[in-house]
Structure formats: C-alpha cells, structure tokens
Amino acid sequence: MPVPAPEIDDYLRALGERLHGPGRLKADLLAEARGSLEDAAEAYEEGGLAPAAARRRAVADFGTPGELVPAYQAELAASGTRILAVRIVVVAVVLLSSADLMWQGAPWTGPRPPAAYLALSALLDLLWILTGLLAAGAWLGLRYAARRGTPVRLPRLLGRSMAVCVGLAAVAGATLFTWSIVMWDAAVRWPPLLIGMVAAGVAFGWLAGAVRGCLVGTR
C-alpha cells in the first residue's frame, strides 16, 4: 500500500493544473516527476530527516510549478506534434498506395469523369504527398530541436500547419467520394469502394484524435 505523501501530491496537483496537453502524455510526465520527488525524499529521509520534512525538502529543491511549467509544456507540445506527424505519415503512405485499389475492376457505367474531377483526384494525391513530407520533416526537426530545448512556438507552427493540411485532405477526399457516387450511383454497392470509405473514416478519426491532442498541447 503506497505511503501517503500529501506534500508531493499537492505539488503535482498544482503542476498538473497548469499543464495542458494529451492526457496520457501529461500523466507520464507527472509520473516521472513523482518518481524523482519520491527518490529525493527517500534520500533525505535516509540522511536523517523526518518523512514529512524530507518530502517538503524534496519539493522545495524541485522548483516551483511556475518554474517547471515552460519546460514541461514544451515537452507536451513536442510529443503531441510528433505523434500527429507519425500518424500522418502512416495514413499518407496507406492511402497513396491503396487508393487505386478501390477502382480496379470496377464496372463503371457512369459518364466519363470530367477534367475537374480528375484534377481534384490528382490534387488530393499531391496534397497527401506534401502533407506526408511536411509530417516527416516535422518529426525529424523536432527530434533535432529536442537536443537544444524545443520552444512551444515550433511545435505550434508545425502542428497547426499539419492540422490545416489534414483538414484540406479530408474536405477534398469527401468531395471526391461524393462526386464519384453522384456520377455512378452503383458505387455505393461496389465493395472495394465501401471498404475504402470505411477505412478512410477510421483513418481520419485516428488523425482527428492526434490533431486535437496536438492543438491542445500547443495552444
């Protein structure tokens, strides 16, 4: 059974209230802080201090919540942005490599797709390529910047840029799907297209969670 440590609990509660970001990442940071505080308190206790005094000393040495928030918030922002970048790269690779599979062998009976439709399809592919490259560059850039200390403004810029790209891709993709169904109403009964629509919905839901976590952590 854990030994009550109100001094440490109160300190971490105050620190947690000042941080914003994905819940799991925030919990991990606070757990690391708790481990450091408990180790320091144990060392002071072994040095002769009473348990409560040892915990107060450990908390005092750790720094005030206000002093720690900038570094902790920067880590939350960078972590959330890296998670978004990884998910974007995964989704971009899957969509670009499998999009044509939805149409291979389709018994198309609708009119020939107009030039605007073909242009939108090409634009969507280009958008995913550029978004994937942006995400890969963001991940590498944040890894490099982490060695020097990452200010929140860098993940904020990268995260918002990627969020905009994901939003544009979602709108373009939904428009293309809808346009396809308008031109060929049998598309809603073509299994590969239905599977692709479901997979795309799952992928964008996965991305939406990362976008939200990134924006919350970098606000």
- Confidence grade of residue 14 (pLDDT, cut at 50, 70, 90): very high
- pTM of the full predicted structure? 0.83
Q: What is the 3-state secondary structure (H, E, C) of the chain?
A: CCCCCHHHHHHHHHHHHHCCCCHHHHHHHHHHHHHHHHHHHHHHHHCCCCHHHHHHHHHHHHCCHHHHHHHHHHHHHHHHHHHHHHHHHHHHHHHHHHHHHHCCCCCCCCCCCCHHHHHHHHHHHHHHHHHHHHHHHHHHHHHHHHCCCCCCHHHHHHHHHHHHHHHHHHHHHHHHHHHHHHHCHHHHHCHHHHHHHHHHHHHHHHHHHHHHHHHHHHC
Please check the confidence at residue 2 and state whether its pLDDT lies above 50.
no
pLDDT, tens digit, 9 for 90 and up, residues 154-208: 889 999 999 999 999 999 999 998 888 888 877 777 888 888 888 899 999 999 9
pLDDT at residue number 110: 66
pLDDT, tens digit, 9 for 90 and up, residues 30-42: 999 999 999 999 9
Please check the confidence at residue 76 and state whether its pLDDT lies above 70.
yes
